Structure 1
Amino acid sequence: MQNKLNLPLIALCLLMLAALSSCKKDEVPGLSAKIQKIVPQAALDDMKSKGLLINEGNTPPSIEGIFEADPYTLLSPYGPEDGWSKGKVIEKYRYRFSGQQGDEVKLEEKQINGNNTGSGIASFLAGSGNKFTLFGEVVGSSSGIATKTLTVISGEITSTGIKDFQYAFVLTNKTGDDDDDVLMPVNKSRVWIDGNQIATKVGSFRIPATDAPVASTNVRSLLSAR
């Protein structure tokens, strides 16, 4: 009689254990809860399938500084329907990382001689040793269109810059451009790299006079449709 009474309790315990096990399987090892909150697993898998390298770990290095990626080279288009192919080169970009506290850092980005700018509203780091991956939600504009992206930046900090620099993103929102004539479609991703395998450390985030925008409406950004 006692054994029969315990059967429902045993069954309940087994169900609870199964639920806990399922939750653990959904977690991504090496990435903090803050990162997993802003990065959908499907988006991460998509960018990784395009060649993005993720540096996992809970002890990221200090990445504060200003870096210039040039030549800014497309590693992976968003799909066969993309107007650009692997190897496409566009105007260089600069990135500023500042105010780092542990795994949180401020991100700012701009295209030199172009019209694409952005800043992180949430930027979190993973990594260990000198290798890191930054995950951020970035708001900005490109060709006069307001945008929001899920952005991932990976590389290895050195004395001269970011070795093996990669910049991947998913365009999550844009205002207007419903026909995708100016910018790529929403919910699509691209992966970019520095063609020299290192984003060079520079002294200023300001655009030098020699690189002042000229006919910037003709400059293509990393978000451009074609």
Structure 2
Amino acid sequence: MKNLSAPALYSILALFLGMSFTGCQNEDDPDQFTGSIEEIEEFLTPELTQIVTELGMEINTGNTPPNIEGNYLAEVVLMGSNISTDVIGHRFSDMVIKFENQNNEDLSITFSYKQSIESGLGIGALIAGSQDSFSAFLKVDVTHGADYPTAKSAMVISGTKTADGIKDYQWALFMLDNKGDSRYILNNTGRVFRELDNIARVTTQSIPSGRLAPETESPLKSAIER
């Protein structure tokens, strides 16, 4: 048998280690969110994903979403609902949303929002998309004043990132657990909203503590109220 030189041994060893490392990475790939519809359904459940899309929500897939970090002001109008008393086209209270800590390696992001006296903090969030289009998939703890329990909801926010904000802004909110409080919408019900002028604009306003009241004669309420 021919003896190998030291450089040759080092080359073979480096190749072996590289193959081993690649193999380890591949073993981890199934646990890595890649923005596929199958993984989105796993996060939201297939049933909720179907309801959301049937109500008109756009869901973007892919693992190269744009950076959406920042604050945005959205004037929301109801475009779909499975709540029998809802009126399509009803104007709800404006909302400020905040995205931060976006990580396109694992497609994670953090989220919070304020609407009327209601506020929400993300307890799990993923982002998918490609080019300038994205969808964020959120599990959120929601509170509506000191005498309300903290409810759990699922949300989806979709749109196209532009210099001015989020164009074609859509927002879906569905109740996962209302803690038995009848002032909240029922479990497994929810709403899908569009933006009044089709863009949630970048704002310097932080998550506010007071009510956002657009000029309208229509009664306003938050999305999670019955």
Q: Deviations over 1:128-147 (max 9, x none)?
A: 00000000101111252321
In the TM superposition, residue 207 of structure 1 has moved relative to its aligned partner by 2.8
| CA–CA separation in structure 2 for the residues paired with 1:155 and 1:191 | 13
Which residue in the other structure is 1:170 paired with? 174
**Any idea what SS the aligned residue of 1:63 has?**
coil
C-alpha displacement at 1:204, in angstroms?
2.4
Partner of 2:65: 60
Is the partner of 2:150 in helix, strand or coil? strand
Which residue pairs with 2:199 in the alignment? 198
Contact 2:120–2:140 at 8 Å: present in 1 too? yes
CA distance in 1, matches of 2:35, 2:211: 45
TM-score by length of 2: 0.75
Per the alignment, residue 150 of structure 1 pairs with 154
Cα shift readout 1:66-101 (whole Å, capped 9, x = no counterpart): 00001x10001224x2x2210010210000000111
Distance 1:36 1:124 in 2: 12
Distance (Å, rounded) in 2 between the aligned partners of 1:193 and 1:137:
20
Match among 37, 46, 53 for residue 41 of structure 1? 46
- The amino acid of 2:53's aligned partner reads K
Q: Return the match for 1:30 from 36, 57, 65.
A: 36
RMSD between aligned residues: 2.3
> Shift of the alpha carbon at 1:176?
3.1
Residues in 1 aligned to 2:141 and 2:54: alpha-carbon distance in whole angstroms: 25
Code of the residue aligned with 1:207 in structure 2: it is: P
Alpha carbons of 1:211 and 1:150: their partners in 2 closer, same or farther (altered >3 Å)? closer
Contact 1:38 1:137 in 2 (8 A): no
Asked if structure 1 preserves the Cα contact closer than 8 Å seen for 2:114 and 2:208, the reply is no
1:89 is paired with a residue of what secondary structure? coil
Distance 1:56 1:131, change over 3 A: same
Amino acid at match of 2:58: L
Matches within 5 A, 1:123-138: 123-138=125-140
Q: Check the 8 A contact 2:96/2:207 in 1, yes or no.
A: no
Q: How far apart, in 2, do the equivalents of 1:152 and 1:93 lie?
A: 14
8 Å CA contact 1:63–1:157 kept in 2: the answer is yes
Q: Give 1 or 2 for the bigger CA radius of gyration.
A: 2
Q: CA deviation at 1:211?
A: 5.2
Letter in structure 2 aligned against 1:146: T
Q: Secondary structure at the match of 1:183?
A: coil
How far apart are the structure 2 equivalents of 1:85 and 1:76?
9
Instruction: List aligned pairs for 1:63-82, cutoff 5 A.
Output: 63-70=68-75, 72-79=76-83, 81=84
SS in 2 for 1:37: helix
2:184 matched residue in structure 1? 183
Q: Is the 8 A contact 2:128 2:134 kept in 1?
A: yes
Query: How far apart, in 2, do the equivalents of 1:95 and 1:109 lie?
Result: 4
